[in-house]
Amino acid sequence: MKPHTLSILVENKAGVLSRVTGLFSRRGFNIESLAVGPCEEPGMSRITIVVIGDDAKVEQIMKQLNKLIDIIKVSDLTENERVERELALIKVTAEQGTSRAEIMQIATIFRASIVDVSPKSLVLQVTGETDKINALEKILRQYGVKEFVRTGMIGILRGSKMISGGK
């Protein structure tokens, strides 16, 4: 069992997301992370899904995904050199004083930016791989994480190789 990052190019049509996610839930798979948005082609979207599962099961799901009419291409990025990123917004309790200064220091170390300031809280924006975001959230917990919102992971292959193309 290991995490697989699947990149799925789909026609941007009503219901396409439930067609995709239905194939996972039907097999008892839990989706770890999901990100959807338009992509380089007009009328198309790219869905990035992270699931944990054994290779054979994930391969079967990929084959089933390929059978869906609205799905153009499915790739497992896991075996390739790739860049993976996620963006998170973290609202931390930050009263005036030392804790506020500490949080700002931590933000610098993680190259997070402060995107909102209020008398009692700060909002940090951070991008990176899943581990980095988890690490930042963990450190901030001692100050009180009020809310933690993340986009879900997206990935792209390194070099000139592309994930899209004909099926």
Partner 1 sequence: MKTGAKILVESLLREGTEIIFGYPGGVVLPIYDELYDSPLRHLLVRHEQAAAHAADGYARASGRVGVCLATSGPGACNLVTGIATSYMDSTPVVAITGQVPTNLLGNDAFQESDITGITLPITKHNYLVKSAGDIGRVVQEAFYIASTGRPGPVLIDIPKDVSTGMAEDVKLPEKVTLRGYNPTYKGHKRQIEKALELLSHAERPLIYAGGGIISSNASPELIEFATLATIPVTTTLMGIGCIPCHHPLNLGMLGMHGTEYANFAVTECDLMFAIGARFDDRVTGRIDTFAPHAKIIHIDIDPAEIGKNKRIDVPIVGDVKAVLKDILTLMKKQDAHDIWLKKIKHWKQHHPLKCPSTGGLHPQFVIRTLSDLVKEKAVIVSEVGQNQMWTAQHFCFHNPRTWITSGGLGTMGFGFPAGIGVHFARPDVPTFVIAGDGSIQMNIQEMGTVAASKIPVKIAILNNMYLGMVRQWQELFFDRRYSFTELPAVDFVKIGNAYGIEGIRVETPEDVLPAFQASLDCDGPFVMDFRIEREENVFPMVPAGAAINEMIGGHPR
- Looking at the Cβ atoms of 11 and 137, the one nearer to partner 1 is 11
- Looking at the Cβ atoms of 127 and 164, the one nearer to partner 1 is 164
156, exposed or middle or buried, with CB in 10 Å at 0-12, 13-18, 19+? middle
Angle at 88 between CA 149 and CA 53, to 5 degrees: 80
Cβ atoms 10, 70 nearer than 8 A: yes
The least distance separating partner 1 from the CB of residue 12, rounded to whole angstroms, comes to 12
Among residue numbers 43 through 82, which ones bind partner 1 (CB under 8 A)? 56, 60, 63-64, 66-72
Among 151, 149, 150, 147, residue whose Cα is nearest residue 93: 147
Among residue numbers 18 through 37, which ones bind partner 1 (CB under 8 A)? 18-19, 22, 26
Segment contacting partner 1 (CB under 8 A): 11-19, 116-124, 139-147, 156-164? 11-19
Binding of partner 1 by 109 (CB under 8 A):
no
Residues binding partner 1 (CB under 8 A): 10-11, 14-15, 18-19, 22, 26, 56, 60, 63-64, 66-72, 166-167
